[in-house]
Structure 1
Amino acid sequence: MNFKSLGRLFSVLVFPLVLTSVLVTGLGMSATVSAADGQTSQQMANAKTSDADLWRAVKAGDSGFTTAQGVEANVLINVVGNQGTIIKNEYLTPAMAVAVLGVFAAFLVFYFVNGPSKLSNGFSGKMVLRWSKADLILHWMMAISCLGLILTGLIIMLGKHFLQPYVSDGIWAAVILVGKTIHDWVGPIFMAAWVLCVVKWMPMQTFKMYDLKWFLVVGGYINFGPFKGKHPDSGFANAGEKMWFWTLTIFGLFICVSGIMLVLPGLELPREASMAALLIHASSAIIIIAFTIVHIWMATVLSEGGIDCMKSGYCDENWAVQHHNLWYDEIKENGTLEYKD
């Protein structure tokens, strides 16, 4: 048999085997590659799902493990803290602006429409002792510290809206630093004055049945309609002053406690407690700010002769008869009525 014959025989017998082997090997490699690709895709999908679950848990506030120590060290995102920030920015900050501008504007309108509450019989010229020197010191200690806290608190809460956009970053940083420092250091003075005021003045602040009529005729401050000339009975403190006292007592307590929680980092409070303290502090401040504006308006421009009491401790006798008749009758009857020399 010659070489040509052998070549033809090799081609007929071997080539189909080689071709079959190539095809089988190719299909096997293709299947292997497809399987590997499928496995890789599944691993990537599992990895993405795992990452999504991880960050979903982090955003939900789930705790994990960190090497840091301390309160809530294992929590990356505190949900309560974020929710509290939203409440403060979207609700409490606008409410504080309303408390300042709204209440002030309402009393301004009332003043131009109604005018001040004049003394029906004018000034008598006789000054009756109403407050002791200790009372005056205590009142102004409370008043000045309260106003200091209000002004600095307004800068801290509202300054980013009405001041920060109009000054440089350096000036804004300095204003916030000074405001925060004053706020923190005036706080203890307010707390001390608050305790002394509550202890000393509480016996005079109990509500009586005649206080209801005071509210019904708006204290006799209305100068028109059926309320004009109505001067309701009142003891040493009228019903409005009593309401102001108890508002300051209750919400002043909230402010003092929450302020201590916020200003002392050594307490190491959980985020929930700190955020609750911040919201209570701001809410209580809004109420006290509104009542403070009312108190200042009533004492200065709406009540003729009212501010004299807190300047010298003495009030005009006709003012005492008109605004605190039951107290005047009492001191006149028991012999404790004292005139200024």
Structure 2
Amino acid sequence: MRKYFYALIALLSLATVALATNSQIWGEMRIQNILGYGQEESLKLGAWFTLLQSKYFAWVFLGVLIGVPTVFFLHYKIIGQKVFPHSHNKHYAFNLFHRTVHQIAAVSFLVIIPTGFIIVFGDFFGGGTLVRMAKNLHGIFTIPFAIVIIPMALMWIKEAIFNLEDIKWFMILGGYLSKEKRIINATQFNAGQKMWYWVCILGGLVMILSGAMMFFMDFKIEMLHNLTGLSHIDMLRASAIIHNVMGFILVAVFFTHIYMAAVAIKGAIHSIITGYVEEEEVKFLHNAWYKKLKEKGKF
């Protein structure tokens, strides 16, 4: 089943590229369309957009790119990993569909984020072929993410609802600031994972829509103009501002998610590859879920 799902997404991506290649959106007409925007403004975003784009966006992205990994490097050196024996009892928590959807989203992010940075720092890379390639890959790998975002939202929405125990989790940051193993009364998803779920799903939808506006709206769409009351140029500027600001948040939380899954808890990432979670890890880090599984005889 998984190979057919991958094949479908690859086929849709290739079809999109083929259509885009023959579209005026990507040809010489794009420049003419852009010149036809005019200077009509409804929100007067011109000055704001120019200021943010030229003075702040690149610096904030650079701060996230350097700052977040630095914090986690210090955490790793000072606190270190938590290690659980992955040879003990296991529970099959994530089925093939769960894992396939998650893997597609993960691969999409692993391309979208680096190419996004290349686009942001296009001047540093000298523009040209590399930046154009990054822009195209950025758009192409948005397609599989856009396909799986709704199934991913639906299959885990129940587990992602916050509860009162999550407040306690945030107060101690899930025990990640302690070298000792502490029993944390979290459900199947702890508060940090729930936060990533909502940022990924809601933020991902915002990024898809705002990115689509910038990729495809060099043609005026009267319906959107009539619906929003915004001039065409201001819709594009608003999309660029929203895309950048949401990008700061998504990248920072994505880095956090990767560190927690692949480094902070040794071997934790295997659960979304094999589908199995290890008993002691669940007992310590997701104790509320562990108790329910224990009652059902899963462990």
Q: Mark yes or no: TM-score above 0.5.
A: yes
Partner of 1:80: 45
Matched residue type, 2:190:
N
Per the TM alignment, residue 223 of structure 1 is displaced from its structure 2 partner at its CA by 2.8
Residues 296-327 of structure 1 deviation map (CA, whole Å, 9 limit, x = unaligned): 11011111231120221112211111111221
Per the TM alignment, residue 287 of structure 1 is displaced from its structure 2 partner at its CA by 0.7
Partner SS, residue 235 of structure 1? coil
Partner of 1:56: none
Q: 1:323 to 1:69 in 2, by over 3 A?
A: closer
Residues 37-75 of structure 1 deviation map (CA, whole Å, 9 limit, x = unaligned): xxxxxxxxxxxxxxxxxxxxxxxxxxxxxxx99975465
Partner of 2:115: 152
Residues 250-304 of structure 1 deviation map (CA, whole Å, 9 limit, x = unaligned): 2112111111211113652611110000110111111100011111110111112
Moved more, 325-334 or 239-248: 325-334
Per the TM alignment, residue 126 of structure 1 is displaced from its structure 2 partner at its CA by 2.1
Partner of 2:295: 333
Computed over aligned residues only, the root mean square deviation of the Cα atoms, in angstroms, reads 2.4
Moved more, 142-151 or 247-256: 247-256
Q: Which runs of structure 2 are paired with 1:86-165 in the superposition (5 Å)?
A: 86-119=51-84, 122-161=85-124, 163-164=125-126
Matched residue type, 1:246:
W
1:317 alignment partner, one of 268, 279, 282: 279
Residues 200-240 of structure 1 deviation map (CA, whole Å, 9 limit, x = unaligned): 1111111111111111222122235xxx4432201110011
1:117–1:222 CA contact under 8 A, matched in 2? no
Q: Which runs of 4+ in 1 moved over 6 A?
A: 68-71
2:150 alignment partner, one of 177, 187, 195: 195
Separation (CA, whole Å) in 2 of partners of 1:69 and 1:112: 50
Partner of 2:229: none
2:216 alignment partner, one of 261, 264, 274: 264
Aligned residues: 256
2:111–2:138 CA contact under 8 A, matched in 1? yes
Name the % identity. 25
Q: Which runs of structure 2 are paired with 1:1-341 in the superposition (5 Å)?
A: 72-73=37-38, 80-119=45-84, 122-161=85-124, 163-164=125-126, 172-224=127-179, 228-265=180-217, 267-268=219-220, 270-335=232-297, 337=298
Unpaired segments of 5 or more residues in structure 1? 1-67, 165-171
Unpaired segments of 5 or more residues in structure 2? 1-32, 222-231
Residues 6-35 of structure 1 deviation map (CA, whole Å, 9 limit, x = unaligned): xxxxxxxxxxxxxxxxxxxxxxxxxxxxxx
Separation (CA, whole Å) in 1 of partners of 2:101 and 2:34: 45
Larger radius of gyration: 1
- Structure 1 length normalisation: TM-score? 0.70
Per the TM alignment, residue 144 of structure 1 is displaced from its structure 2 partner at its CA by 0.7
Partner SS, residue 268 of structure 1? coil
1:254–1:281 CA contact under 8 A, matched in 2? yes
Per the TM alignment, residue 331 of structure 1 is displaced from its structure 2 partner at its CA by 2.4
Per the TM alignment, residue 138 of structure 1 is displaced from its structure 2 partner at its CA by 0.5
Per the TM alignment, residue 89 of structure 1 is displaced from its structure 2 partner at its CA by 2.4
Per the TM alignment, residue 106 of structure 1 is displaced from its structure 2 partner at its CA by 0.9
Residues 167-212 of structure 1 deviation map (CA, whole Å, 9 limit, x = unaligned): xxxxx41111211111111112111122221121111111111111
Partner SS, residue 128 of structure 1? strand
